[in-house]
């Protein structure tokens, strides 16, 4: 359809303009209609107006609704409308001359409709200029005309439409204001810490990095440290005395850079706490001077520590603990204080730092001291009982503790030389009491006489060196035992007469010998002893034991300068017991016994008849004492 044809289809009279208004009003009613009002209007009863029945009213509206628009297919969008360039308002509507005076809109003659959609419809009907309800082509309407027609809307519709516009405008403004406020706060916190931010105990909400650094600097400006020590009142060292200053490490600024400004709202419900290094600088020379000026560093206020020691108290040995003392280790004390100041500590106690004081060299846990205690307790625990036949001698802690040395405080003085000397003295005392070598014994002879016989080679003799070493070991290990001492020489029995009941009796005065075994005489014989006319040939009195037995043998005298011997005499049985003196056979003699020995005796040996010498040789034992007496 051409543009010209479309223009011809558009009505040109006033009634047609009213029809357009009616369409606009209907569309606005659909947009603006309150759902509640729609429900109420569906139940409303309409009263007849100007003789027209309610039925006619609805029929008119029905016709209007049903024939108002055709389907979208009835129009071709490209043919329906002209372009904006071809549009001519006067051509569309026609001039006033073309339509006549009736086509004019007389604002004064146009009564504003009363409130309510019915009145507005009646006014339109009253005009008598309504045409068919069939939709007409949409005409371009200038904005002034639309505004003029909107002014004809009912009052309540206009108010409601206006309210929605205001609400939408207010909402839009609120969104814009909120967005501006959020952006403004984001910008504000771009160089400030969020609310609820704490650094090193300082509330940094809304502060810049510089302000936080200033607060940290103010925090250490009045720094001081309290120094406590043993037996002294605490003393203060102020930051001013050591030129104490704060140095930034840059950690605060880095925390701020790590903060995302657009997350500023988190600060109002989320609190964060950080710790940064409070780097400080101070004069270490001044700090050294402050340490040496402390009361605890002064000589008159210092006491040296005492070592722990072992003492004998309450009938037992125990360790007396060491004493700490107050002798300050100045160099170590300075190191401890220097570290405390570097860590910005508010106080330091040298008493809790063992390295700050000179320590005792020996503590109660010292391994050597523990060993000494164990040894001392063993001293009192040790018990050695010696047996000497029917006699005993006991060494126990009551005696041993007296061998230990203590100072005026009761501290044990470990002197091994002194202690071992006590042991040696004790063993020597045992030897003096119970040794029989070198003693004189009372002896009852077969002839009924009682004689006293001395011996330097027979009897009991304790090996004092070996016994002292054994005793020291047993004392230190706390040994409890009963035993004999270690002997270097033994006898047949204990007691004053240690000969027992097995012995050989040589009666030099009677020139007769007897061999008793377990108290029974098993052998006897006459003999010839050393010549009494020569002092160097006399047989020695004493108690001896057999050295050896040889058969046959050659007896020789002293060796002469020419290499020969004074004499050489072969014998069949040789049994020495006193150096070169012994029992042997003497076949060259015809008689034995009597007083031959006085002038014609031997060189000191006991000469026996050959047959008797053979018997003695067969029964004599090495350990049998040989008692020789006059």
Q: Is the Cβ–Cβ distance between 606 and 513 less than 8 Å?
A: yes
pLDDT(108) > 90: no
**Mean pLDDT of all residues in the chain?**
80
pLDDT in tens, 561-610: 998 998 899 999 999 999 999 999 999 999 999 999 999 999 999 999 99
Residue 73 or 327, more confident = 327
Confidence of residue 158 (pLDDT cuts 50, 70, 90): low
Q: Is the Cβ–Cβ distance between 206 and 193 less than 8 Å?
A: yes
420 is catalytic: no
The pLDDT score that the predictor gives to residue 67 is 39
Query: Which range among 33-47, 321-335, 336-350, 584-598 has the greatest average pLDDT?
Result: 584-598
pLDDT(383) > 60: yes
Q: Which of 422, 494, 584, 603 is catalytic?
A: 584
The pLDDT score that the predictor gives to residue 402 is 86
Q: Is the Cβ–Cβ distance between 555 and 568 less than 8 Å?
A: yes
Q: Which two tokens stand for residue 193?
A: 């810490």
Q: Which two tokens stand for residue 149?
A: 């027609």
User: How many residues appear in the chain?
Assistant: 630
pLDDT in tens, 258-301: 999 999 988 888 899 999 987 888 999 999 999 999 999 999 99
422 is catalytic: no
In the chain, the percentage of residues whose pLDDT exceeds 70 is: 73
The pLDDT score that the predictor gives to residue 49 is 44
pLDDT(539) > 70: yes
**125 CB-contact burial (10 Å; exposed 0-12 / middle 13-18 / buried 19+):** middle
pLDDT(16) > 50: no
**What separation in angstroms does the CA of 623 have from each of 458, 497, 541, 577, 599?**
10, 16, 18, 11, 32
pLDDT in tens, 404-443: 887 766 667 777 889 899 999 999 999 999 999 999 999 9
Residues 196, 270: Cα–Cα separation, whole Å: 7
- In the block, tokens 């000589």 appear at 299
- In the block, tokens 């309504």 appear at 130
| Domains present along the chain, CATH in parentheses | 3-153 (no CATH), 190-364 (no CATH), 368-433+462-488 (3.10.20.800), 503-629 (2.40.440.10)
pLDDT(128) > 50: no
The pLDDT score that the predictor gives to residue 159 is 65
The pLDDT score that the predictor gives to residue 279 is 81
Give me the mean pLDDT over the 60-74 stretch: 39
pLDDT in tens, 54-64: 434 334 344 43
Residue 451 or 30, more confident = 451
The pLDDT score that the predictor gives to residue 3 is 39
Closest by alpha carbon to 568, among 576, 560, 593? Answer: 560
Measured at the alpha carbon of residue 109, what is the angle toward residues 105 and 111, in degrees to the nearest 5? 105
Question: Which residues on adjacent β-strands are paired with residue 550?
Answer: 574
Q: Which of 204, 296, 376, 605 is catalytic?
A: 605
């Amino acid at each position: 359809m051409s543009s010209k044809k479309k223009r011809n289809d558009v009505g040109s009279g006033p009634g047609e303009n009213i029809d357009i208004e009616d369409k606009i009003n209907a569309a606005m009613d659909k947009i603006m209609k309150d759902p509640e009002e729609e429900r109420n209007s569906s139940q409303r009863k309409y009263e007849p107006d100007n003789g027209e029945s309610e039925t006619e009213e609805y029929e008119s509206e029905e016709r209007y609704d049903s024939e108002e628009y055709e389907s979208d297919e009835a129009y071709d969008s490209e043919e329906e409308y002209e372009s904006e360039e071809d549009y001519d308002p006067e051509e569309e509507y026609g001039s006033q001359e073309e339509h006549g005076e009736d086509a004019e809109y007389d604002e004064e003659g146009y009564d504003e409709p009363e409130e309510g959609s019915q009145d507005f419809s009646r006014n339109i009907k009253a005009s008598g200029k309504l045409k068919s309800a069939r939709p007409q082509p949409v005409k371009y309407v200038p904005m002034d005309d639309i505004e003029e027609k909107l002014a004809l809307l009912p009052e309540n519709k206009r108010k409601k439409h206006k309210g929605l516009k205001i609400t939408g405008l207010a909402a839009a403004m609120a969104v814009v204001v909120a967005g501006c406020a959020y952006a403004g706060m984001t910008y504000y916190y771009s160089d400030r810490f969020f609310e609820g931010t704490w650094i090193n105990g300082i509330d940094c909400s809304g502060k810049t990095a510089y302000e936080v650094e200033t607060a940290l600097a103010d925090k250490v400006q009045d720094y001081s440290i309290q120094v406590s020590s043993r037996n002294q009142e605490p003393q203060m060292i102020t930051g001013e005395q050591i030129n104490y200053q704060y140095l930034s490490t840059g950690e605060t600024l880095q925390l701020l850079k790590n903060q995302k400004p657009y997350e500023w709202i988190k600060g109002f419900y989320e609190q964060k706490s950080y710790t940064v290094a409070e780097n400080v600088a101070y004069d270490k020379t001044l700090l050294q001077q402050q340490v040496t000026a402390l009361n605890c560093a002064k000589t008159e206020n210092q006491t040296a520590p005492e070592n722990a020691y072992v003492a004998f108290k309450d009938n037992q040995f125990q360790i007396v603990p060491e004493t700490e003392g107050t002798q300050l280790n100045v160099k170590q004390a300075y190191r401890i204080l220097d570290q405390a100041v570097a860590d910005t500590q508010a106080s330091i106690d040298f008493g809790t730092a063992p390295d700050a004081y000179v320590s005792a060299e020996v503590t109660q846990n010292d391994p050597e001291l523990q060993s000494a205690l164990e040894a001392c307790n063993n001293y009192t625990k040790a018990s050695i009982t010696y047996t000497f036949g029917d006699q005993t001698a006991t060494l126990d802690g009551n005696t041993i503790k007296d061998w230990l040395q203590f100072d005026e405080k009761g501290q044990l003085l470990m002197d091994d030389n002194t202690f071992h000397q006590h042991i040696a003295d004790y063993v020597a005392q045992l030897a003096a009491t119970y040794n029989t070598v070198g003693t004189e014994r009372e002896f009852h002879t077969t002839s009924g006489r009682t004689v006293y016989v001395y011996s330097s080679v027979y009897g009991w003799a304790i090996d004092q060196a070996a016994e002292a070493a054994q005793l020291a070991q047993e004392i230190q290990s706390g040994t409890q035992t009963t035993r004999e001492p270690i002997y270097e020489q033994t006898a047949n029995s204990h007691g004053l007469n240690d000969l027992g009941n097995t012995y050989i009796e040589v009666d030099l005065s009677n020139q007769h010998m007897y061999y008793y075994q377990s108290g029974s005489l098993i052998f006897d014989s006459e003999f010839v002893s050393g010549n009494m006319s020569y002092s160097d040939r006399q047989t020695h009195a004493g108690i001896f034991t057999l050295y050896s037995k040889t058969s046959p043998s050659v007896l020789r005298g002293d060796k002469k300068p020419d290499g020969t011997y004074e004499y050489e005499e072969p014998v069949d049985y040789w049994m020495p017991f006193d150096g070169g003196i012994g029992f042997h056979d003497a076949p060259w003699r015809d008689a034995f016994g009597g007083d031959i020995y006085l002038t014609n005796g031997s060189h000191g040996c006991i000469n026996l008849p050959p047959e008797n010498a053979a018997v003695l040789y067969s029964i004599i034992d090495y350990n049998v004492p040989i008692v020789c007496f006059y």
